Structure 1
Amino acid sequence: MQQHRQLAQVSLAFLIASAVTLGMLILTIVLVGQSFRGMEQAKVTAATATARQLAISVDDRIQAITQPPSTALAVLRHDPLTEADTLEQRLDRLPVVADILASSEIVSAVYAGYENGDFFLFRKLQNSSARQFPDAPANSHYLLQSLVRTGNDHQGRWHFYDHNLNLLEQRDLASYNFDPRERPWYQAARESGALTLSAPYVFFTTQETGITLSQRASEKAGTVLGIDVTVTDLGAQLAELKQTPGSRIAILNASGQLLAGSSQDSEPGEVVLQALQPESHSGISQFTRDGRSWYGISEPLESLPGEELSIVVAIPSNELLADVWAALTRQTLIAGAIALLLLLAGWVLGRQVGKPLELLTGQVSRLSRFRFDTPMRSTSHIREASELSIALDDMAHTIRSFQSISTVLNRGQDLKQLLNDILEQLVSIVGQERGAVYLFNSREQKLELSVNRGLELPQAVNPVAPDASDYDVIQELRRYIAGHPVFAVLRNRRSKLIGVLVIEIENGDQTNLSDDLITFVDEIAGSAAVAIETRELIESQQALLDGIIRLVANAIDAKSPYTGGHCERVPKLAQMLVEQAEQSSEGAFASFGMTEDEHYEFHLAAWLHDCGKITSPEYVVDKAVKLETIYNRIHEIRTRFEVLHRDAEITCLKAILAGGDPDQARQDKADVQTRLQEDFRFLAAVNQGSESMEDADIERIHAIAGQTWTRHFSDRLGLSEEEQQALKGHPEPPLPATETLLADKPGHLRAWGEHVPPVRKDDPENRWGFDMSLPEYAYNQGELHNLTVRYGTLTEEERFKINEHIVQTICMLDALPLPDRLARVPRLAGTHHERTDGNGYPCRLTGDDMGVPEKIMAVADVFEALTASDRPYKRGKTLSESLTIMAGMVENGHLDGEVFRLFVSSGVWRDYAEQHLHSDQVDTVDESLFMKP
């Protein structure tokens, strides 16, 4: 008996010899790590010392660059050039200046600024600068830029010379007006009187990095001389000083601008800028760029004390620490061999105590096969094994309880039945009898009783805020529920309130509720919340799918063949611009971002932004000429002209038969027919609508319309019901009837009747906030009314019918049973015709009323419409034409300026053009013209 108790006290942890192995392994890892850190520090220290030597070498090089030009400047200040008053006198000193340019490859220009504002500059036209003067004569080697002032007048002149100073061409440039007295190099030299040196910068003309040396000639002369010196050869020297093949070296100024680098691409500048630490301009740092680890070292340069130059070195850590990693690999292999031996020894010891666990292993394997009804108890002399068997038995019992709940959660598709089953099972498990489930109505912000099992509860609890805490929700419910209830607040995956579970505690001690019981109810409530959310999502998504299917089915019958491409291209363009807005950190986009749900919401809105066009008549949307309805009514008018043409022929013949002058009769006929031909050609041209109408054109149309012809057939036969209703109340004139050549007749008008759209602000049915002007008639097909449209082909009524598509879009999408995460789809889809100045439609929103996504939709819609080449009534505009028009729309308050500038600067228009525009639409675009704030 005593022996049995002694065996039961044996500790499993004491018998596991592998603990020794673990301790040895940890010790080995620590030692190897310390060794690595020491070798790493040594390498970094050596790299730092090398960087300091590199800074000294670069200082010497900069001194060597600036010394020869300084000497040349000191000599030149005593040259007669400094006192020359005329251009001819200065040209005499041109050989001296040319010698200075030829004496050094790094001197790019020599110039003099005179006290009276004259300027004299002589530069070399080398390979880099030649790109800045593409119109220079062939064989040009030098360029002289001179400016001579006489009172308030100035004369700018350029001279091009060959290598031997032979004049090739002389150009007078009235626009060349450069005042050297206003330049920093002139003012600094005049004030100090000594040699002044500018900070290194990139020359505007040659795009070379360099510095400017300037010095006043003398007090008497008042002339300041200057020399531009390039330092681009520093990059080659830096490349030779790299410690490793992948090292990057660069020289930066105080503002972080790259002045010279060890490579010609942009990568060195970006790497070394990241190597700088914000808290220190000198020292060593470690950073990561593009998944690669680097060491950064920064040292100040002393050659130009006032300029705060630095040399920055970035070394890939894998190259710097290559030797260290090799040593670490050897040590790791040795440590691994030792650890393997210890693991083998630990395995032998572990087997001695593993046999008592085999029985538990078999029982656990039955658990893994979902045999939760198998007893888990087993006897063992090892204390931990015995306790483990008890814990496993309790776990199997708990799993059986959860399995029952899981069966309920996954049974059926009806939400009401699901809630009832959950409540029934849960009340039974906790040993109680009564309970209830409330669901949260987010639209009305209240809790509604969904399932009740024997409790006297209110049908609704309100108001309940959607962001209320669990404590606030429970306190609100306690106002209505008496007794001893346990509450579990149901929240979905996004922690949003979806409901509350209530269980009345009647059996047991209500004043001392078990913490385990409360925890269990909370856990079950969490599973129930997920199941509820899943059912709700399935139902809402199914409803949305059904709505979209209905939408597509209707579109098949009514869509225009010219809007399909638009509805496909706008979402792509809008999505491209949204991605750029999220990446931007400027202005309105600094805090802009979209969640996954918001991205899908925007995507869906972009695809459905013109779905209302399925209700727009095709002959209005695609109206190419003014008289077009379902067909082009110019043919009716042509027929009337044919009648008048034949009437003129008949009149001529009657006059001849009556004994009149045949020649005069034929001449009258010819005059009438010629006028008719001219009048018809004019009306046909007007019908095109390609040019704006002047007052004189409208007067001529009315004059032509006043001509009459005789109709002998009834115009009330063969009419549709709609046509008959339009003529109701207008009696038919007796035949034959005299009619004008063009007319606006009652039959051309179509009243709104019972189909007045709710677009007026005071309309009680207008719950969307529309604010649009409603024409008097739904349609006006009057011939004069259509032909006298001043711009384009659309009348006021047709323009409203097209604009109404956005109203239909909002109404149709608002009617869909969209879930909360897609609630903004109607607004996003229905605001792309709003303007930032409040003059858009359908709600006259201003820029402050719209967010970034709405403004992006407007820009995308306009650009696609301008560049589209599949419209029957216009050609697709080029890129430059489209961007120019959009820039004007920004100025007059149509489009948002920040979104348009992002559209231009990001190059989205260029990427879109490559995919969707014809080659003849892609022309050269100067982006700077459209970036003005």
Structure 2
Amino acid sequence: MLRKIKPAQVSLALLIASTITLAMLVLAIFLVGQTFRGMESAKVQAASVSARHLAISVDDRILAITAPPSTALAVLSHDPLASSTTLDQRLSRLPVIANILSSSDIVSAVYTGYADGDFFLLRKVRSSGVMQFPDAPDGTRFLLQAIDTEDGRQLREWRFYDEQLQLLERKTVPDYTYDPRTRPWFKAASDSPRTVLSAPYVFFTTRETGLTLSRRAARFGEQASIFGIDVTVSDLSHQLEELKQTPGTQIAIVNPENQVLASTTDNSDPGPAISGALNHRGTRVSNSSVTRYNVDGEDWYGMSEPLNALSAQQLNIAVTIPADELLAEVWETLARQTLIAGIIAIFLLIFGWFIGQRVGRPLERLTDQVSKLSRFRFDTQIKSDSYVREARKLGDAIDDMASTIRSFQSISTVLNRGQNLNELLLDILLQIAHIVGQERGAIYLFRGQQKDLSLAVNRDLDIPETIPGIAADLDDNELIRILRGHIGGHPVFAILRNREKQLVGVLIIEMEHGDHTHLSDDLIVFVDEIAGSAAVAIETRELIESQQALLEGIIRLVANAIDAKSPYTGGHCERVPKLAQMMVDEAITSTAPAFASFTMNDEQKYEFHLAAWLHDCGKITSPEFVVDKAVKLETIHNRIHDIRTRFEVLHRDAEIRYLERRLQGDDEASARTERDDLQARLQEEFAFLARANEGGEYMREEDIARIREIGQRPWQRHFSDRLGLSSDEKMALEGVPEAELPVTENLLNDRPEHQRSWGDRIPPVQRDDPANIWGFDMKLPEHAYNRGEIHNLTIAKGTLTDEERFKINEHIVQTICMLDALPLPSRLANVPRLAGTHHERMDGQGYPCRLSGDELGIPERIMAVADVFEALTAVDRPYKKGKTLTESLTIMARMVEEGHIDKDVFELFIRSGIYRTYAQQHLHPEQIDQVDESQFMNNH
């Protein structure tokens, strides 16, 4: 099933602030956009006007360039130079021409072309600031280029003059092939009586770009000489450079063939930017002559205007400006306006947030308070100080609801957390009285056997302790009638019944505040319903207490059954819990560093209490004949008697042998000596085996060897060993052939039938066993039992074989498995571990899990010490006597050194004097000797 998607949510303050700010931003963006478009249009229009003004300025400049030379040319057309026929005549007019050159910076040459092909030209050597003839002699100011015809042959020579027209050098230039009659300026002036201005072109000699003004001599008709003046236009490029609007602006004057006559760049080619302006490429901007286009990834604004000063030559001036430079001020203005708009937006955002907070804070606070209610925080006071009327009313309504819920919560808390029944009843009474606004009340509990109501709790009411004559089957009305006969005032009664509608008790609230005669029906129903919950809680608490008592009883029953199972261990399961509890209480109050942070709450103490009582519950599965095994040959009975019988047979065989020798006539003394020696040896050997059967702390190797030697003594069996057997004995003899009678056997035997295999009931105690889920780590004997006579009699220490020792130790495995299988509540989850670790050692060599001291908590270490001390001092063990206090503590001190028990717990045990308190309660007087505690404290 698809989950319903909740719509996105925003805070009211954020909504108000963002709405105001967004509106401002939209307006600001619109205004900035319009401003940008307007400023862009204005800048483009300004650039267009500037281009027109530039064209006018260039026109004026061209007129300024051409007017003075034109005047000088008009005067010169009347000069005698026009009619000169020889070079000497013409040289006489050099001062006049030199004055014309010196009077103007832009006039580069003055010359005269004659109808017969002669040519007379005087020019400046340095023009436009550049030395045009680097090979000229030092000090050269003017260069005279002359072509003179004498006697039908032309003389071509160049003459170099200084500032005073002193001749510096003269040289003939044969390859100076120049015919003025073929030049455009000559032809144009020949056909016109006025001054003719040529189109800009490249001069023949200097390769400069300039204009030529030419005029026909005034008095000689069509065959007259032609005067010319060359004017350079290089200063136009400098003027154009000064007229650039931006550093990257490009300006160029071009002719109809797109030849650059003057530009702000050094290129003779127009370039892509200028070409774009001339061709009006791109998009026209704002109804102007300006177009916007892109060149190599860069945007340009371009425009072109015709030059009127030389209209005949159809010259144009082109202007192109990089977009980023043209609009730089626009972008700066835009950035400034955007910054201002951003500042205003931030201010409005703060202002809107402030207003939104003022409006939304009460709602937000109310939301947080209601949110706490949703998280079951019913102790939160709900109120709203908002100026919004609806928000204030909503807060009041929710506060009333929260107050009601808090009342129910308080009652629920009391019902659920109450431990002691009387305290629980008192809390219920106080809470219900508080809810209805009263102070006094009482609760009676029904006692079925006495058929009365017994006062359980009373809050300042003068009422009887018991109300007799209460039957279990009374209805509520009859019961209330009886109660009113015993209780005066203005009480409200609530009959308490359990789930089966059985009478549990009565709750009474004295209505001493308010109108007693007009009690609200809702109030009465409410008190009755809450009282019903109290009845269920009372019943539940009684059930819990009874179950806990039952569990306690069963645990004690199991412990007592284990102790009763063996008359030799009676009281062990009872004494260890008492001793362990004494040590735990001491550890909690101890200020020693090892116990400074140790503490236990009531539940942990109860958990430890149960674990102590159940620490040996696995012994219920231990075979009784193993637990009670007092001598080495004991199983169900002491098999020393079987061996004694065999000795009896051998003893009798010796007597029979003696009698047989007498009948055979042997020497009586010799026969008697043989008999007596053998019988004495048999007596001594049996006594030795009987002593070995009793067990002890240590058996010597020579004693073990002697047992094996005695066991080799033969005897003869005449009766079948297969008769009268149990099914278990028969199964053990399967596959073993019966010997033919009579059969000679060893006195002591370790027979195959003495061994019992594990079969399919192998305990899961090995670490690599998949069934071992508890982490056991124990060595498993090869056989479940080995009842071999020599095997048992040669036990080196004590009375138990390795197989029987494992059976004894297995009780702790069974303890853990049994307790782990119980459905214990979580508060008792550590019972299996606490009960199953008292045979672990601090050095990690204990059982069943080989836990080290670091893996054992203080309660587990205490349990181990308590178990050891009880075992050492117990007087009901068949295989040893109860030791004195000094003996026991000495052994325990050695166990501390060997890493068996914990040093800190042992010292706490001695320092607190618990050992002596326990001894006075459970040991015989002869065991309680004077203990020198210092010898145990100083050495450890």
TM over 0.5: no
Please report the TM-score for the alignment, with normalisation by the length of structure 2: 0.44
Please report the TM-score for the alignment, with normalisation by the length of structure 1: 0.44
Larger radius of gyration: 2
